[in-house]
Amino acid sequence: MCICSGSLFLPLINLKISLSFIWKGDNMQELDFITIGNNIQHRRNALGITQEQIADKLDVNPSHISNIECGRSHPSLTALIAIANCLECSVDIFISNEYSFNPTEIESPIDKRLQKKLTLCSDDKKEKILKIIEIL
């Protein structure tokens, strides 16, 4: 995939975008990389995938994945997308707590909690949960 800029084509893999700061209200604040890393770890564990498996797919050292999950390393947008692809989810699962607005004001708090928990579940667990809900 390439990004076109006039007659210059840059591979997306070489595009580095800093995710260190976001706007919250009138102020720009640093992202909570510890929470982002925890969200990555929860999704990875829910799928039964090891750090080594992700590292192999991304061609990085497993310690880099560990550092991301612990919040010691600040992944680029490109890295977050690659991790999300490995974990078959949207980057939004990792960074949704960073928004300063509420895009789903219609949903009740319990809907939000359920949705967050479901995104971390494997398809097998989701099927079991769906069956339980249908019985109720």
Q: For 62-120, what is each residue's pLDDT tens digit?
A: 999 999 999 999 999 999 999 999 999 999 889 877 766 655 555 677 877 888 888 88
Helix segments in the chain, DSSP class H: 33-47, 51-58, 62-69, 77-86, 92-95, 109-119, 123-135
Is 98:32 a contact under the CB 8 Å cutoff? yes
Q: Which of 75, 122, 73 is nearest to 95 (CA)?
A: 75
What sign results for the dihedral spanned by CA atoms 70, 38, 80, 100?
Answer: negative
Q: Is the pTM of this model over 0.85?
A: no
Q: CATH assignment of 2-101?
A: 1.10.260.40
For 7, 76, 81, 93, 129, the CA distances from 19, given in Å and listed in that order, are 27, 6, 12, 15, 35
